[in-house]
Structure 1
Amino acid sequence: MHPDRQLEFLKRVKILDALSQVSLEDLAKTCRWHTYKRGEEILGYRDPSNNVFFLVSGRVRAIIHSARGKAIILRDLRTGDIFGEISAIDGSPRSASIEALEAATVATLTSSQFENLLLKEPSVAMATLRHIAGELRRLSQRVLEFSTLVVQNRIQAELLRLAADAGRDGAQPLLSPAPSLSDIANRVSTHREAVSREVSRLTSIGLLRREGRNLRVTDIGRLEKLVRDIKGE
């Protein structure tokens, strides 16, 4: 890959936002680059490797499979995200598998290279801390939801989370492409039929709208209030 292209890719990574041009150029030379095909596994659950991955193009999914083969979707990652940092920091095996949802290009650092980057660049260290704090908050919310909410309400909370991840389009975020009913079910530990019923209900009351392969949240404010009310916030 041409160095200019590598530099352009690294500028997409959120935790590297504050790096100077020179620092980005040095980092691009240090990274190893690889493109994965759709459906290809990038990391395996309990894998002993400890590289850090900057996702510079495409989408990937963090997922765990139970002993019976049931998929548990943790979250989807998009261009600009980072993964693998926990194992790089604590040296433990991978806590989830990472699979490419589409062609995905990553830039990787070894754990020692990542540690050197954090020590050399305080802005990256602080951005990494904020990133990890955000992931802990997200995990805490999901634990609370699984412990206190019935399936219908967990589906509503997950749709709100997906809308937030997709970014705002005014008051009507667009999930593009729309997650499948099975994907949503795997995120909230239920079955496809329960998700189908709730999505149909939310559509009938004007909170969701199908747009081809996409799903529009037609009133994010109402959905946010609905989720806040069921959580007692």
Structure 2
Amino acid sequence: MHIQVSQLVKRYGSHVALDGASFEVPADVDCLVLLGASGSGKSTLLRVLGSLLTPDSGSIHINGTALGWTDEAMLKQRRGNGFVFQSFNLFPHLSAEENVALPLREVHDINARVALHQAHETLEKFGLAEHVKKRPAEMSGGQQQRVALARAIAPKPGLLLLDEPTSALDPVMTQEVLDLILRLAEDGQRTVLSTHEITFARKVADWVVFLDHGVVVESAPASQFFEQPGTDLARHFLESLTRYR
């Protein structure tokens, strides 16, 4: 995925979440990981990349095509993406398979019978065959997040955007979900991931963008960033995350 971001600015009132962020990711990158401390702007950047937020200024090109910021353009762009966030955002009154099938029908205009088959097939692939009829309250946190991943993957998105997808999970459930994300990445799913799981980031990332206070401090191949970060800020950040691991 070739991504070019130029002078991106996003404000929330007086707070500047992105302050002229710029970087370029080569076309052969399948997994881009966004790193930075809380409040660095990585979640905002991920949401702008996914056309969930409109920037105040700046531009984004993905695979040579400029993102548009009209309501119509953003809706079309969102339909080509899959999203998973910190909270599972599942409909509590629907079964796992209905949570996956509903957006296939309503957003992607897929026939109801085909959508249900596709949902069932995806949930089976994610190790949830025994849970397809269960509602969210009947599943563990890790299972719910896998349903959320299945919902994001079922339409075969061009880009999967994951914002701290394991932050609400305990260590065992976290490992379940990270194993699944790693498998998707190894299968070639193009992914943008915001995470604090630094050990996992080392395994999955092809490229790293490191942010601080809304500014891109480093943009580099993952191996280079983790082995020889180019700034003291990045070095201190990595040391702080690995000190007790």
Tell me, yes or no, whether TM beats 0.5.
no
Question: Which structure: greater helix fraction?
Answer: 1
With normalisation by structure 1, the TM-score equals 0.28
